[in-house]
A and B are shown apart, each in its own frame.
Chain A
C-alpha cells in the first residue's frame, strides 16, 4: 500500500506569501494523479512538500499511513524526477543510476543487477558508460526516470519531466510514461502545466490556481463537467468558447439558456443540476467546446475571420457579436463554405452547454453525487 494523503496542506513562505492554501487530497495506492495549473498556481510547491524539499507550514502529510511531515526526504521512500533531469554530469549513466543505492550501502552485485534491469526496461543499456552530456534530451529523461526507478519507491514524483523536450519527443515520452506506469505499478504524482499531458496520463487530475485546488476529477469529469470558468478554460484544446451576456431563464418550470437571443431548452441532467443548485434566472456566461459546435445548422451566426486547415479538420475562428468562437469541423463532414469573411450558422446540443455564474464563475450545472445526496449546492462551498 502506498496511499498518499494531504490534509489541509499549506505553504507560507518567510515573506508571508502563501503559495498553497489548504490542499486536501487522497491519492489511492497505485493511482496516477496529475497536478495541473498555470505557473505560480502552487502545484510544484505541493509536490515539493510531498517530497520533503519544502517545509510544510500547516496540515498533515501521510505516506503509507505514516505521518511524514518531519521525516527527512530520504526516509519517505519516494523518488522524484526533475524538470532539468538533475543528473550528475561527472558520473556515467551507470553511476547516476547506482548513486542512491551506493549511498544506501546496497551490495555491489545487487546494485549492478538493479541498474541493468532498469536500463533494460528503459532501453538505455547501450548508454550506461556514457556521461549525461553525451545523451539526447529524451535519453537524459530516461536516465532521470531510471534513477528514480532503481529505488523501488512507494511514491513516484514527477515535476514537469517533459517540459524541456520538443513537441515530438514529448509525445513519445508521454507514451513511454504510460507504458512505464503499467510496468512499475506504483503511486504517481505528476506535475505539469500542459493540460494534454494531464488528460492523457492521469487517472485523476487536480486543477490548481493561485494556490487553491479548483477541481479534482477524472479527465472525463473535468472536461465534461468543469467546476468553474477557470477549469473550463484551462482544460480542453482548443479552449472552450465563452459567450458573455447570456441569460439563464425559467419558463413553465423549465430552465432555458439564452445565447445571443437564441433559446436552448436544457437537458434533464442540466434541469436536475440547476434545481439542485437552486439556480435563479440570472445573467450567465455560456460555454461551448469547439468540438461541440455544429456548423451549417441552427440560428446562431458568426463571421469567419480565420480558417485553418489542419489536415483532418478545420479550425475556424469566427466572430459572434463581441465573442470569438472557435469551431472544429472534421474535413470529411464539411459541407458549408468556410472561407474567410463568410458568415456561417452554428448551433450545439443544449446538453453540451456549460452555464457559468457571471459573478462567481461557478458552473451552475456542476454538482457531485455526495452533495446531491445531502441536498447541498456544492459549488457554493468553493472559495477562490
Chain B
C-alpha cells in the first residue's frame, strides 16, 4: 500500500494522459472562452496591424534605403549600423539628446506628482459636488486639440498677446516668448501639464474611490488629522497605481511627440525646440527624405525607452511589490 501511494504521489505532468482526453480539455476550454476570444479579436487585430506589423519597417534602419525601394528585395543594400554611426557623429546628436531629455525630465518632475496631488485634494474635499465640478473643470482642457492649444498660447503669449498687452499697459517691455530660447521649455511643459493634469488624475481618483471608508473612520478615531489620513490612508492605497504609472512614465521618458514642438517651433527657439522626434520627422519626411537615417534615430530612441522601462520595472519590483511584469 505504501509503495502504491508513493508511486501515485510521484505522478508528474509527463505522466498525464496526452491523448484525446487532454485535447478534449483544451477544446472544451477553447469553446468556453470562445465568446471572450471573439470579443478581444478586433483589439488584437488592431494592435497587430498598427503596432507589431510596422516593426518590420525598422529593417530599413540597417539599409541604404531610398524612397520607392522595397524593404526586402534582391537589390537591398545592407549597411549594418552605418546609419546609427552617422547619427552618433552628427553634430545635432548631443543637442537633440539634451533637448529631448530636458523637456521630458522637466515635464516628468512637474507632471508626474501633479495629478496625484490633485486627486488627493479632490478626494479630501468634503463637498462631493464641488469635487465633481472641479474635476470636470480640470479634465476639460484634455479635449482641446494641440493646434488649438498652441493657438491659445499664441493668443496669450504672442508678441501682441494678452500677457504682453498687460505688461505693455503697465509700462513694461514686450517679450517674444516664441522667439526666445528661454521661454520655450516653460511654455511647452506648463501648457502640457495644464492640459493633462486633470485627465491624468482620473486614474488616481478611480483608485481612491476603492479605499474602504472604514479605514478613514478608524483613522479619525485613532486621532489622525485630515492631512495624516491622506498620508496614511489615501496615499498608500494608490501607491500600486503610482508605481505602475511611474514605470510607464519612465518607459516613455524619451518618447516625446513631435506635433506640439513643431507647432511651437520658430527659428528663434530652434536651438532648444529641436527634439529627436522633430528631427526624425524632418529628416524622414521633409526635404530630401532620408528614411533609413530617420528610422535609425527613431529606433535608437525606442531602444532607450525600452531600456528605461526595464530598469524602472526591475527597480520597482525590487523595492516594492508593484511592477508591470
Task: Please measure, in the bound complex, the distance between the C-alpha atom of A52 and the C-alpha atom of B221, giving whole angstroms.
Answer: 8
Partner of A103, one of B214, B224, B233: B224
**Which residues of B in the span 208-226 have a Cβ within 8 Å of any Cβ on A?**
212, 214-215, 217-224
Bits for B184-221, please: 1 = Cβ < 8 Å to A, else 0: 00000000000000000000000000001011011111
Bits for A238-277, please: 1 = Cβ < 8 Å to B, else 0: 0000000000000000000000000000000000000000
**Which residues of A in the span 71-114 have a Cβ within 8 Å of any Cβ on B?**
73-74, 78-80, 82-84, 86-91, 99-100, 103-104
Whether B214 contacts A86 by the Cβ 8 Å rule is yes
> Does A53 belong to the interface (CB within 8 Å)?
yes
Output the least CB separation between B175 and chain A (Å).
48
Given contacts A90-B239, A99-B222, A103-B224, contact A53 B232 (CB under 8 A): no
Whether A86 contacts B215 by the Cβ 8 Å rule is yes
Q: Which residue of A lies closest to B220 (CB)?
A: A73
Task: Please measure, in the bound complex, the distance between the C-alpha atom of A80 and the C-alpha atom of B212, giving whole angstroms.
Answer: 15
> Does B228 belong to the interface (CB within 8 Å)?
yes
Q: Which residue of A lies closest to B232 (CB)?
A: A88
Given contacts A86-B214, A88-B233, A89-B236, contact A73 B228 (CB under 8 A): no
Query: Which residues of B are found within 8 Å of A80, using beta-carbon distances?
Result: 217-218, 221
Given contacts A84-B212, A86-B214, A88-B215, contact A103 B222 (CB under 8 A): yes
Task: Please measure, in the bound complex, the distance between the C-alpha atom of A100 and the C-alpha atom of B228, giving whole angstroms.
Answer: 11
Q: Is the interface of A mostly helix, strand, loop or mixed?
A: loop
Whether A74 contacts B233 by the Cβ 8 Å rule is no
Output the least CB separation between A221 and chain B (Å).
32
Output the least CB separation between A202 and chain B (Å).
23
Output the least CB separation between B70 and chain A (Å).
57
Task: Please measure, in the bound complex, the distance between the C-alpha atom of A126 and the C-alpha atom of B212, giving whole angstroms.
Answer: 27
Q: Which residue of B lies closest to A151 (CB)?
A: B222
> Does A51 belong to the interface (CB within 8 Å)?
yes
Whether A84 contacts B221 by the Cβ 8 Å rule is no
Whether A53 contacts B220 by the Cβ 8 Å rule is yes
Whether B212 contacts A53 by the Cβ 8 Å rule is no
Q: Is the interface of B mostly helix, strand, loop or mixed?
A: helix
Whether A74 contacts B221 by the Cβ 8 Å rule is yes
Whether B217 contacts A88 by the Cβ 8 Å rule is no
Q: Which residue of A lies closest to B216 (CB)?
A: A86
Output the least CB separation between A81 and chain B (Å).
9
Given contacts A84-B214, A86-B215, contact A99 B221 (CB under 8 A): no
Query: Which residues of A are found within 8 Å of B239, using beta-carbon distances?
Result: 90
Whether A74 contacts B220 by the Cβ 8 Å rule is yes
The size of the chain B interface, using a CB distance under 8 A, is 17
Whether A79 contacts B221 by the Cβ 8 Å rule is yes
Whether A100 contacts B214 by the Cβ 8 Å rule is no
Task: Please measure, in the bound complex, the distance between the C-alpha atom of A86 and the C-alpha atom of B233, giving whole angstroms.
Answer: 10
Q: Which residue of B lies closest to A78 (CB)?
A: B221
Whether B212 contacts A100 by the Cβ 8 Å rule is no
Whether B236 contacts A53 by the Cβ 8 Å rule is no
Task: Please measure, in the bound complex, the distance between the C-alpha atom of A100 and the C-alpha atom of B219, giving whole angstroms.
Answer: 8
Q: Which residue of B lies closest to A101 (CB)?
A: B222
Q: Which residue of B lies closest to A157 (CB)?
A: B221
Whether A82 contacts B217 by the Cβ 8 Å rule is yes
Output the least CB separation between A297 and chain B (Å).
53
Q: Which residue of B lies closest to A105 (CB)?
A: B223
Q: Which residue of B lies closest to A53 (CB)?
A: B217
Partner of B217, one of A86, A99, A104: A86
Q: Which residue of B lies closest to A76 (CB)?
A: B221
Output the least CB separation between B225 and chain A (Å).
9
- With most chain B CB atoms within 10 A of its CB, the pick from A74, A83, A104 is A74
Query: Which residues of B are found within 8 Å of A147, using beta-carbon distances?
Result: 218, 222
- With most chain A CB atoms within 10 A of its CB, the pick from B214, B218, B220, B237 is B218
Query: Which residues of A are found within 8 Å of B232, using beta-carbon distances?
Result: 88, 91, 99
Output the least CB separation between A76 and chain B (Å).
9
Whether B222 contacts A74 by the Cβ 8 Å rule is yes
Task: Please measure, in the bound complex, the distance between the C-alpha atom of A78 and the C-alpha atom of B218, giving whole angstroms.
Answer: 11
Query: Which residues of A are found within 8 Å of B222, using beta-carbon distances?
Result: 74, 99-100, 103, 147
Task: Please measure, in the bound complex, the distance between the C-alpha atom of A89 and the C-alpha atom of B221, giving whole angstroms.
Answer: 17
Task: Please measure, in the bound complex, the distance between the C-alpha atom of A60 and the C-alpha atom of B219, giving whole angstroms.
Answer: 25
**Which residues of A in the span 28-76 have a Cβ within 8 Å of any Cβ on B?**
51-53, 73-74
Task: Please measure, in the bound complex, the distance between the C-alpha atom of A163 and the C-alpha atom of B130, giving whole angstroms.
Answer: 35
Whether B220 contacts A86 by the Cβ 8 Å rule is no
Query: Which residues of B are found within 8 Å of A90, using beta-carbon distances?
Result: 236, 239
Query: Which residues of B are found within 8 Å of A53, using beta-carbon distances?
Result: 217, 220-221
The 5 closest A-B pairs by CB, nearest first: A74-B223, A90-B236, A100-B222, A86-B218, A86-B214
Q: Beyond A73-B220, A82-B214: 18 further Cβ-contacts under 8 Å?
A: A51-B217, A53-B221, A74-B223, A78-B221, A79-B221, A82-B218, A86-B217, A88-B215, A88-B218, A88-B236, A89-B236, A90-B236, A90-B239, A91-B232, A99-B219, A100-B221, A100-B222, A104-B223
Can you name 7 A-B pairs with beta carbons within 8 Å? A53-B217, A83-B214, A86-B215, A88-B232, A88-B233, A90-B239, A103-B224
